[in-house]
Structure 1
Amino acid sequence: MAKRLSPAVERRGGRPTQAEAAALHQRLREAAVKTFLENGYDATTMVAIADAAGITKPTLYARYPDKRAVFLDVIPWAFSRAVQVDVPSATDDEDLRTSLVAIGQGALRQALNPDIVQLHKIARNEAHRFPEFGLSAESLGWASRQQQVMDLLAGHAEAGTIEIDDIELAAEHFLALVEVLPARLADFGLYRSRKEEQRRLMHAVDLFLRGVLAR
């Protein structure tokens, strides 16, 4: 059984500090995602989540009324967290091609990450129980990366180096070119070599640029 949190984190008397509460929430989310990945939704219990997080059941129930509420919180969080961690912290805005390649590499790393592949499977399998998601399992986690592409394209459009009527749609199409097919193949356990994925990424970037560069 996982080690219980120290009294400084899980207190019997008084409220935890804001930092302690944030650390506990982070730990709980990570433990819940790990438990869902290992056991699937049906086989996961609140007891298992509490044990994985090293907390008591009352502490878990103080934050979530049931397993359904945990799932609704942690699955979208896991997708968005993966994107935020993997998106390049800095790209060369002067060189559009280099920036798009860097973003595309981040998209591929996420799409082919075994945990992300498993998260997609769980989200798709349980989508009928969770209309609150409000979007398909395939699009979970795209928002941060798509916004980065949009910001990049907007800057170049303003500078006149590219011509785009709909920046949001163009960003979506770029990510679809780069990520969708490798992600679908990964769902079936099929992976290309790293060299082949890089070749296809470069082709997708150049194809996209031929469609948007100012003439």
Structure 2
Amino acid sequence: MAKASSQAQRRGGRPTQAEAAALHHRLREAAVRTFLENGYDATTMVAIAEAAGITKPTLYARYPDKRAVFLDVIPWAFSRAVQVDVDETVTDDDLSAALVAIGQGALRHALNPDIVQLHRIARNEAHRFPEFALSAESLGWAGRQQQVMDLLRRHAETGAIEVDDIELAAEHFLAMVEVLPARLADFGLYRSRAEERRRLLHAVDLFLRGVLPR
């Protein structure tokens, strides 16, 4: 009886840390979905609260206004959506295969409809959010660039490749693989999978020619 009373009291009091984290996650997901569906101007705090299944006071307890919600949830959506892909069948020993696998992950990210829409809304609202505009374009790159850097560093340490600047090399590799397909997707233009793979393999081959010892 005492245990049941204690649980009832907890439900009526402050949420646990786990409950608060779950609520924040649900709220963020609902806010991103609402912004993507309605755009920034048409989204309201009421709409966000309803989508999350919470009350307006609960939402306002976490965010003072819609601007604060946007600044929090859009970068979060980018970081969540670009979790680095790990292909268990590919080992780092095979540099070419590892770069192809990373490139495929980059393309999946670049051509994901939600990512395309996230980039679009971020660019459209950049004039209102200067602090967000500075990082919006790079949000999808950090984790994957680090993955390429780690891969190149391991091969450079064994003497398998020669790279003067690991960071720039990783950045240039991702630029070859991802940037143009992402820009085409902004305009609703998509190549076939076979065509994207042909270009990816060419990019990997071209990159390796630049880093393999002569």
Tell me the equivalent position of 1:157.
156
Cα distance in 2 for partners of 1:39, 1:104 equals: 32
Tell me the equivalent position of 1:196.
195
- CA offsets, 1:82-124, max 9 Å, x none? 111x522644110111111111001101111111111101000
Tell me the equivalent position of 1:88.
86
> Retained in 1: the 8 A contact 2:100–2:201?
yes
> Retained in 1: the 8 A contact 2:110–2:181?
yes
1:14-25 to structure 2, matched below 5 A, reads 14-25=13-24
TM-score computed with the length of structure 1 as normaliser: 0.91
> Retained in 2: the 8 A contact 1:76–1:141?
no
Q: How far apart are residue 132 of structure 1 and its match?
A: 1.6
Tell me the equivalent position of 2:101.
102
Tell me the equivalent position of 1:147.
146
Q: Which has the larger radius of gyration?
A: 2
Tell me the equivalent position of 1:35.
34
- CA offsets, 1:49-93, max 9 Å, x none? 111111111111111111111111111111111111x52264411
Cα distance in 1 for partners of 2:212, 2:101 equals: 18
Q: How far apart are residue 136 of structure 1 and its match?
A: 5.0
Gaps of 5+ in 1: 1-7
Cα distance in 2 for partners of 1:54, 1:176 equals: 40
Stretches of 4+ aligned residues off by more than 3 angstroms? none
Cα distance in 2 for partners of 1:47, 1:146 equals: 38
Q: How far apart are residue 141 of structure 1 and its match?
A: 1.5
Q: How far apart are residue 22 of structure 1 and its match?
A: 1.0
Tell me the equivalent position of 1:185.
184
Tell me the equivalent position of 1:51.
50
TM-score computed with the length of structure 2 as normaliser: 0.91
Cα distance in 1 for partners of 2:166, 2:190 equals: 31
> Retained in 1: the 8 A contact 2:75–2:136?
no
Q: How far apart are residue 134 of structure 1 and its match?
A: 5.6
SS in 1 for 2:190: coil
Task: Check 1:65–1:12 CA distance in 2 against 1; reply closer, same or farther (3 A cut).
Answer: farther
| One-letter amino acid of the counterpart of residue 106, structure 2 | A
